[in-house]
Structure formats: structure tokens, C-alpha cells
Amino acid sequence: MNLLFKYKKVAIFLLSLLLIIFWGATRLASPLGDKGQTQTLTIAKGAGASTVAEQLAKMSRASGGSVTAFEIETLSLLTGRSNDYKMGDYDINPKASLSSILDKIARGEIAPLKIRIAEGATWAQIKSVLLKADMQHDAQELDVKQLATVLKLDTASAEGMIFPDTYQYRRGEAETAVLSRAAQILHSRLNAAWDKRAEGLPYKTPYEALTMASIIEKETGAAEDRAMVAAVFVNRLKVPMRLQTDPTVIYGIGADFNGNLTKADLQTDTPFNTYTQDGLPPTPIATASMASIEAALHPADSKVLYFVARGDGSSEFSETLSEHNAAVKKYQLNPVKKSAQ
């Protein structure tokens, strides 16, 4: 009788164990829910398994599921994951299995944050963007010369040496780490483009081509005009003729520029005033897209020397001053902020 009782206890235990295993396997293979889009799970520093379980259970309810915090915490303990959760933000797809979600958290597959460095942005503007990001702000006090030293660039200034793109970063990552990656990307892409440049260009180095590209970036209102804008400035360098481009003057004025470019500004000599200085400015004036870099290295086959804004974002190009004056009369009936080129 006692032996039969023992067999029953063992059988009940084994049956219970099988049921638990079946339940656990079923729950782990099940999704949090069956609807909804990817959500962000934020695990704070020191958060325990119970806190994470509550957050996931809330996501489950919001996405039409029924997984409870008790179930999640129990399965975390049974599978040995509960002590491995790492702080950070995680992208959670509610339709993914609970097992894969717990694995992601245990492995620390933190969702990267993103930051956008725009085309045509100056270092001052990039700093403002970086300041809003959840980073270690170790570049905010650096000017363009100091940044060049920190990033170990072979140029005296870091202006324009950051490739404009969207970059992923981890919470608390140093600004200089992201900027270093961006500078390396620019170096690689610029040199590759330089090797395939057109013949007869008036640049001695890739850096000069980048400087031209930054001007093209700031002067182009319509993407399809880039190659023609490039042709204007390349032709002026070849004549030779001063570039006479407003964005360089504005850059030279710096923080004192109030948004209104005056005749006095155009006559005030600075290293960046291409109305008073010959050739290219000493450094790029902003970030340049690959499209502008390609335009600088492959300008349109044209003899144009002038262009004027039409008012719709595009430009009218001319080979002679008389043609240009006629275009100015046609398209610039009212004063505009950007002067005719």
C-alpha cells in the first residue's frame, strides 16, 4: 500500500512537472500580443525582474495579449534570465515570442538612439543638435580648430569635415565618438570620389574640392541645379574671377550675422569674403552631401559664369553678364535676401 502511494506521488510529481514544462514552453513560444506596433521598453538602472515583468505585462495588455507579470517573472526565474537584464531602451515587437523578448533583454540588445547631422550645417549648428541628444557632451566647448585636434584630422579646422547623415549612438556615448565616426566616413568617401574626379578641375587637393562642395551645398536650391552651380564656380576659378558667393560672406560674419546681408557686409574684408578675396575660402563653410561633392568633382560641361534665383527654388544660368542682367531683371523684381550671383 505504501509502495503504491509512493508511485502515485511520483506520478503526480512527474505529471505536474510535465504540465509546468508544457505551460512554460507554450507561454515562452507565445507572443506578448497579436496587434500593435513596436514599442520601447526602458529598463532603468537597478530595475529587478518584477519591475520588468510588470512593464512587459502592461505591453501585453496594450497589444491584445494576456501574459501576466507573474507568468513573466516566473518564467524569467525558471529560465535563469532574471539576473541578466541590462539597463537601456529596447525595441519590443509585441508579436514576437516572449522567449525572444526575454533573450533580447538578457543579451542587452539595446535599441540604438539616432541623431541627424544635416547637409549644409555648420559646427555651431551641429553642436546645438548634439546638445539635445542623450550623450556625454564632451565637444560643446570646442571650436573648429580644437575639434580638429581632438578628432586627429589633418586639417586646421573641423568645419565641413563631418559627413552629414543619420548616426546611431548609445545612451551616454561621447559626442566626440560619434563625430569621429562621421569624420572617418567623410574621409573615406571624399577620397574615393576624388580618385574618380573629372579632368581639368582647379583643385589641388580633396580638401579644396570639399570646400567647393560646401559652397555648392549652400547655394543650391534645387537638386537638379547642383552640377550647373558647380560649373559656375569652377569656371570662375578658371577665368580667374572671384567666386562672389554670399554664403561664404555670411560664414565669415559668424554669430554677428542678423539675417540681412548688406552692401557693407560684401565690402568688409574677411578670409571668407569671396567678393574681396581671390579663390576658395580657407575652409569649408558647412557640411556637404555626397551629391554636392560629386557636383564639385563632376561639374556640368557648360561655360556659365552667373546664376540668379528664379523664386521657385531653381536658378537661371547665364554665360555673359548681359544675359545675367536680363535674368536679374526678369526674376528679381523685388528685393530678396539672397543676392544675384
Give yes or no for residue 335 having a pLDDT over 60: no
**Would the pLDDT of 337 be above 50?**
no
Query: b vs e for 273-296, b when ≥16 Cβ sit within 10 Å of the residue's Cβ?
Result: bbbbbeebbebbbbbbbbbbbbbb
Query: 82-141, pLDDT tens digit by residue?
Result: 677 778 888 888 888 888 888 888 888 888 889 999 999 999 999 999 999 999 999 999
Do 242 and 266 meet the contact criterion of CB atoms below 8 Å apart?
Answer: no
In this structure, are residues 231 and 341 in contact, taking their beta carbons and an 8 Å threshold? no
**Pick from 35-49, 233-247, 278-292: least confident:** 35-49
What confidence tens digit (pLDDT) does each residue in 143-158 have? 999 999 999 999 999 9
Domain segments of the chain: what residues?
28-107, 113-192, 198-331
Residue 287's pLDDT band (cuts 50, 70, 90) = very high
